[in-house]
């Protein structure tokens, strides 16, 4: 029986095999025209829409079987409650005691000017589909709309897109949107981008700089993680430009006509023997502040009062470390002279204490928070690898400190040369506190990798060199290096807390006369 079955199976296989051979042979004998005609006569296979595509096309785009009409920003959508109820905003509306639960026409008042008709259409459509396409140019509008309707999935997608597209051009507006709509991750990433690029990029792009809010600039100025390139005076000049740009919204330093006027103004100042110590592009703002015929500081005027809190966060004790810096600050007359006088007094007092050998005035037993609030901030960009060394000039309490980058190691040296002994500290050992942060950035000026040291206390002898950091292999050039350093105990700076709004005698007389006239 088994042999019979095996024989039958073999015959069946041969029959079907022969049929396939005959079919292939017949097909090969057909001409191209015959094959083409056969293809046209055979029925076409039609690819069916997926359920999601069908729902989106039929119910949303063609608006069939709608049971609710929504109107916003002058546009009307014929929609469906069952799909809108995915949004907590609409679910509460349709299932609560609101009058809209029984209505078929629902007007929505849009109070947020970031929301657009296009973003509303995209968000409504997403409720009928399992995906949403968001263009980077529209992401803030979609985020605003998704926040209105409490759609967490779309909010998360917007956040991912924003983080991927952070750059100096987008960071400020993304930060404002993140604050308004509570997107913590975007706020953190954009703030980091602003800390990295504030001095190196925004100072060169005034039309980006002027849009930074007072609150944001205050937070950036206070941040110990701000990359200050080169020293605190660099941050001061940037704040001066920023304040001037906000006070003069119509001023555009990139406008050719205004550039020509600035050049002529610079030439007149040179002919008059006036030293501005400022680029041509900044001469207009320099003239604005220095030409004021008032004794009071600009921060003490009504125009300057809104900016007081920003300059209070500026570490003004490091603006008096160099003669030219002090001269600029004095001529600008933006910050109160009382601040400068107190700083100079504190500097001299500290220098005398150190020279007298009072160890208690060296930075020791100070907590991290106090260090970060008071430390000197200075920085540098290294474009290429290799041996490099640098220093920041100016008054430094008798310490000449050199930073040395050798291969993958960053060292610090207390240089003490005999020909400069009269201006250097004669103490055998000097104490200081320091923290190093090194960041590798990409083409979009975003942080790729950051390495930060602990806050360490050093005691350096004359000409002693010690290592600060061994660079992680993941750090590749270009590198941003930020140094936080403290060489004396920080003094009390409560005198900066209040800048009184003073009124010149001439204005007081005018006010009195106006008051008498009104009587």
Supply the pLDDT for residue 504. 53
Q: Is the pLDDT of residue 16 over 60?
A: no
Over 90: is that where the pLDDT of 475 sits? yes
Reference 173, options 219, 200, 181, 218; nearest CA is: 181
Residue percentage of the chain with pLDDT more than 70 = 81
Segment 350-376, tens digit of pLDDT: 888 887 777 666 676 688 999 999 999
- The Cα 312–Cα 253 span in angstroms is 27
* pLDDT value of residue 351: 84
DSSP letters of 218-239? HHHHH-TT---SS-HHHHHHHH
- Per-residue pLDDT, averaged over 327-342, amounts to 91
pLDDT the model gives residue 269: 67
Q: Kindly tell me if the per-residue pLDDT of 273 is higher than 80.
A: no
pLDDT band for position 418 (50/70/90)? low
**Rounded mean pLDDT, 185-196:** 96
Tell me how far apart the alpha carbons of residues 59 and 156 are, in angstroms, rounded to a whole number. 26
Mean pLDDT computed over every residue of the chain: 84
The pLDDT tens digits for 22-38 are 444 444 444 555 555 54
What pLDDT digit, counting tens, does each position of 435-446 carry?
Answer: 999 999 998 888
8 has a pLDDT exceeding 50: no
Confidence at residue 95, expressed as pLDDT on a 0 to 100 scale: 86
Give the integer Cα–Cα distance in Å for 128 and 52: 7
Cβ–Cβ < 8 Å for 289, 333: yes
pLDDT for residue 473 is more than 80: yes
CA distances to 244, 309, 424 from 321, in Å? 25, 22, 15
For residue 364, how many other CB atoms are within 10 A of its CB? 13
- Grouping H, G, I as helix, E, B as strand and the rest as coil, residue 464 is coil
Contacts 24+ apart (CB under 8 A), 131-134: 132/157, 134/158, 134/161
Does pLDDT of 5 surpass 80? Answer: no
pLDDT, average across residues 66-78:
95
Query: Among the listed ranges 64-78, 290-304, 362-376, which one has the minimum average pLDDT value?
Result: 362-376
Contact in structure between 262 and 283 (CB atoms under 8 Å):
yes
Q: Of the given ranges (104-113, 218-227, 274-283, 310-319), which has the lowest mean pLDDT?
A: 274-283
Q: What is the pLDDT of residue 48?
A: 58
Q: What pLDDT shows up at residue 239?
A: 96
Note the pLDDT tens digit of each residue in 159-186. Answer: 999 999 999 999 999 999 999 999 999 9
Q: What is the pLDDT of residues 232-261, one digit of tens each?
A: 999 999 999 999 999 999 888 777 887 777
Q: What is the average per-residue pLDDT within 468-496?
A: 92
Give the pair of three-digit tokens for residue 1.
């029986």
Q: Look at residue 26 in the predicted model and tell me its pLDDT.
A: 43
Residue 1, pLDDT score: 41
Structure confidence at residue 6 (pLDDT): 44
Q: Both tokens of residue 14?
A: 């041969």
What are the chain's domains? 49-165 (3.30.710.10), 199-335 (no CATH), 363-497 (2.60.210)
As a whole number of angstroms, the distance between CA 107 and CA 276 comes to 60
State the virtual CA torsion across 41, 43, 49, 50 in degrees, nearest 10.
-140
Question: In this predicted structure, what is the pLDDT of residue 443?
Answer: 87
Higher pLDDT, 421 or 9: 421
For the segment 470-480, the average pLDDT, to the nearest whole number, is 93
pLDDT single digits (tens) 377-394:
999 999 988 899 998 888
pLDDT beyond 50 at 10: no
Mean pLDDT within 130-143: 92
Q: Supply the pTM of this predicted model.
A: 0.81
Can you give the C-alpha Rg of the chain in angstroms? 35
Is the pLDDT reported for residue 137 higher than 90?
Answer: yes
**DSSP output for 384-452:** S-S-EEE---S--TT--EEEEEETTEEEEEE---GGGGGGS---SEEEEEEEEEEEEE-TTS-EEEEEE
Most confident of 250-259, 302-311, 422-431, 490-499: 302-311
pLDDT, position 150: 96
């Amino acid at each position: 029986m088994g042999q019979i079955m095996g024989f039958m199976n073999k015959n069946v296989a041969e029959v079907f095999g022969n049929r396939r051979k005959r079919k292939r042979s017949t097909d090969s004998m057909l001409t191209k025209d015959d094959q083409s005609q056969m293809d046209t006569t055979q029925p076409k296979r039609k690819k069916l829409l997926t359920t999601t595509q069908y729902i989106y096309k039929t119910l949303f785009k063609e608006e069939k079987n709608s049971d609710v009409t929504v109107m916003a920003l002058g546009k009307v959508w014929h929609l469906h409650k069952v799909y809108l109820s995915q949004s907590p905003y609409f679910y509460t509306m349709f299932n609560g005691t609101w009058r809209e639960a029984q209505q078929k026409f629902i007007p929505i008042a849009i109070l947020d000017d970031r929301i657009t008709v296009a973003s509303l259409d995209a968000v409504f459509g997403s409720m009928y589909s399992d995906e949403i396409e968001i263009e980077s140019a529209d992401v803030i509008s979609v985020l605003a709309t998704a926040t209105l309707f409490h759609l967490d999935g779309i909010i998360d997608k917007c956040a991912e897109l924003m983080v991927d597209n952070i750059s100096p051009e987008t960071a400020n507006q993304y930060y404002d949107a993140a604050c308004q709509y509570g997107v913590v991750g975007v706020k953190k990433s954009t703030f980091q981008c602003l800390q990295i690029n504030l001095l190196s990029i925004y100072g060169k792009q005034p039309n980006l700089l002027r849009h930074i809010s007072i609150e944001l600039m205050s937070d950036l100025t206070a941040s110990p993680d701000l990359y200050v390139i080169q020293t605190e005076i660099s941050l001061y000049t940037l704040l001066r430009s920023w304040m001037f740009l906000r006070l003069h919204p119509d001023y555009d330093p990139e406008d050719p006509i205004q550039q020509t006027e600035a050049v002529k103004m610079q030439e007149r100042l040179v002919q008059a023997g006036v030293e501005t110590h400022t680029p041509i592009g900044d001469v207009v703002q320099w003239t604005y502040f220095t030409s004021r015929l008032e004794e009071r500081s600009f921060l003490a005027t009504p125009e300057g009062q809104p900016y007081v809190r920003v300059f209070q966060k500026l570490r003004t004790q490091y603006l008096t470390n160099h003669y030219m810096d002090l001269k600029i600050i004095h001529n600008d007359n933006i910050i109160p002279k009382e601040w400068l006088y107190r700083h100079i007094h504190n500097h001299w007092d500290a220098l005398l204490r150190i020279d007298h050998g009072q160890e208690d005035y060296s930075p020791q037993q100070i907590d991290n928070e106090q260090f970060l609030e008071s430390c000197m901030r200075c920085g540098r960009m290294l474009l290429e690898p290799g041996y490099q060394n640098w220093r920041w000039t100016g008054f430094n309490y008798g310490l000449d400190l050199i930073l040395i980058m050798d291969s993958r190691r960053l060292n610090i040296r207390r240089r003490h040369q005999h020909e400069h002994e009269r201006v250097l500290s004669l103490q055998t050992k000097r104490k200081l506190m320091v923290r190093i942060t090194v960041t590798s950035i990409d083409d979009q000026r975003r942080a790729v990798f950051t390495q930060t040291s602990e806050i360490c206390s050093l005691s350096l002898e004359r000409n002693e060199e010690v290592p600060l950091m061994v660079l992680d292999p993941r750090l590749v050039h270009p590198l941003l290096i930020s140094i936080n350093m403290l060489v004396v105990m920080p003094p009390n700076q409560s005198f900066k807390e209040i800048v009184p709004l003073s009124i010149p005698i001439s204005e007081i007389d005018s006010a009195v006369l106006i008051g008498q006239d009104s009587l």
